[in-house]
């Protein structure tokens, strides 16, 4: 009928613009902007509740999962932070929906997706190093305090983060290494196991007694208190060089680190050298003999 008020079907109301239950209560009591206040309070309460649930339930579950895989404390902390960020992100989404901000949430999600794509192209190297950091935490090729070698570099690992690792060289220089450099190539971790085998090549003269020299090399290894008896020290003839016979010694040390390894090897080599001197076993060095005639040319006469 003309002039009659337009009837609105309640089922056609956009749910994203509907007031929250708290907002409706506030409006009934005549509170100005009650719908906005109710939506804001609902948003904060839901977000806080989800964050609290994550702190009390989700993060402890993640901690137990990480502990079961034996991750070190330095590796667990970044993963805990990522879990907290994920909980907050999920809480924001649910809180937006509970507060009736559906359209706003869709707009924010669209903008975030576009921004993520743009940032992804701009930060490819950062993302690559981040993913490499995750693999380091998961695979554990090395840990803080380990001595590692890679691409001609070596040092002690001082810190591992998701983007870079920091390595202190033996010259006391601090190297900040992108994690992708440590996952794309071969890393040598000499201290990953409880024991380490050391090798050293001793050269003796061709006229010296090979059996006697080998016996001295093994005896000095057995006499050193920090060289293991099991596996036993051994010697192999591995080289017939131009001026020497090469005897390669193989010894094992326990709980290795670089400072101990260098000290033990130096003491061992020194003791073998002293025994060689006592037994008149020569450690030869390359010699060159020059032959030929030398002619002296007369200086040219100086013209008057």
Higher pLDDT, 12 or 202: 202
Buried residues in 223-237 as b, exposed as e (16+ CB within 10 A)? eeeebbeeeebebee
Q: Across residues 258-285, what is the average pLDDT?
A: 85
Buried residues in 189-216 as b, exposed as e (16+ CB within 10 A)? ebbbeeebebeeebbbeeebeeeebbeb
Cβ neighbours for 117, distance < 8 A, ≥ 6 positions apart: none
**Under CATH, which architecture does the 142-184 domain have?**
Roll (2.30)
Over residues 209-262, the pLDDT tens digits come to 999 999 999 999 999 998 988 889 999 999 888 888 999 999 998 876 666 778
Least confident window among 27-31, 62-66, 159-163, 172-176: 27-31
Report the DSSP beta bridge partners of residue 154.
Answer: 149
Give the integer Cα–Cα distance in Å for 120 and 282: 65
Predicted local distance difference test score (pLDDT) of residue 83: 80
Q: Across residues 195-205, what is the average pLDDT?
A: 89
CB burial of residue 301 (10 Å; 0-12, 13-18, 19+) = exposed
pTM of the model: 0.50
Structure tokens at 304: 């008057």
Give the integer Cα–Cα distance in Å for 5 and 214: 112
Break the chain into its structural domains and give their ranges.
21-122, 142-184, 195-278
Over residues 71-126, the pLDDT tens digits come to 666 666 667 777 887 888 787 777 777 766 665 556 566 656 666 666 666 567 77
CATH of 195-278, one of 3.40.1350.10, 3.40.1210.10, 3.30.70.100, 1.10.510.10: 3.30.70.100
Structure tokens at 156: 């002690």
Beta strands in 129-286 (DSSP E): 147-150, 153-160, 164-168, 174-178, 195-204, 234-240, 245-254
Region class of 15: left (phi > 0), else alpha (psi between -120 and 50), else beta: alpha
Give the integer Cα–Cα distance in Å for 136 and 179: 8
Contact of 227 with 217, CB cutoff 8 Å: no
pLDDT at 274 over 90: yes
- Give the chain's mean pLDDT: 76
Give the integer Cα–Cα distance in Å for 100 and 40: 10
What is the number of H-type helices and E-type strands within the chain?
Answer: 9, 7
Higher pLDDT, 278 or 103: 278
Across 5-14, 96-105, 139-148, 220-229, which has the greatest mean pLDDT? 220-229
The separation between CA 67 and the C-alpha centre of its own chain, rounded to angstroms, equals: 19
SS3 249: strand
| Listed residue (287, 288, 282, 280) closest to 202, CA to CA | 282
């Amino acid at each position: 009928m003309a002039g009659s008020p337009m009837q609105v079907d309640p089922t056609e109301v956009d749910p994203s613009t509907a007031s929250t239950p708290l907002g409706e209560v506030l409006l009934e009591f005549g509170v100005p902007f009650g719908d906005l206040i109710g939506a804001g309070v609902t948003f904060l309460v839901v977000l806080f509740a989800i964050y609290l649930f994550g702190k009390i339930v989700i993060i402890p579950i993640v901690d137990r999962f990480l502990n079961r895989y034996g991750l070190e404390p330095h590796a667990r902390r970044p993963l805990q932070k990522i879990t907290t960020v994920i909980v907050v992100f999920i809480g924001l989404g649910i809180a937006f929906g509970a507060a009736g901000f559906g359209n706003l949430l869709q707009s924010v999600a669209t903008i975030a997706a576009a921004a993520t794509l743009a940032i992804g192209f701009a930060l490819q190297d950062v993302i690559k190093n981040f993913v490499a950091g995750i693999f380091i935490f998961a695979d554990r090729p090395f840990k803080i305090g380990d001595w590692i070698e890679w691409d001609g570099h070596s040092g002690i690992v001082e810190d591992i983060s998701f983007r870079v690792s920091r390595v202190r060289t033996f010259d006391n220089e601090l190297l900040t290494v992108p994690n992708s450099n440590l996952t794309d190539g071969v890393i040598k971790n000499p201290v990953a196991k409880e024991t380490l085998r050391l090798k050293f090549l001793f050269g003796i003269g061709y006229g010296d007694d090979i059996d006697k020299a080998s016996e001295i090399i093994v005896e000095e290894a057995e006499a050193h208190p920090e060289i293991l008896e099991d596996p036993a020290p051994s010697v192999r003839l591995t080289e017939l060089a131009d001026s020497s016979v090469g005897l390669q010694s193989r010894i094992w040390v326990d709980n290795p680190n670089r400072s101990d390894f260098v000290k033990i090897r130096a003491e061992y080599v020194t003791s073998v050298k002293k025994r060689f001197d006592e037994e008149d076993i020569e450690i030869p060095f390359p010699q060159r003999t020059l032959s030929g005639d030398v002619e002296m040319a007369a200086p040219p006469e100086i013209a008057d």
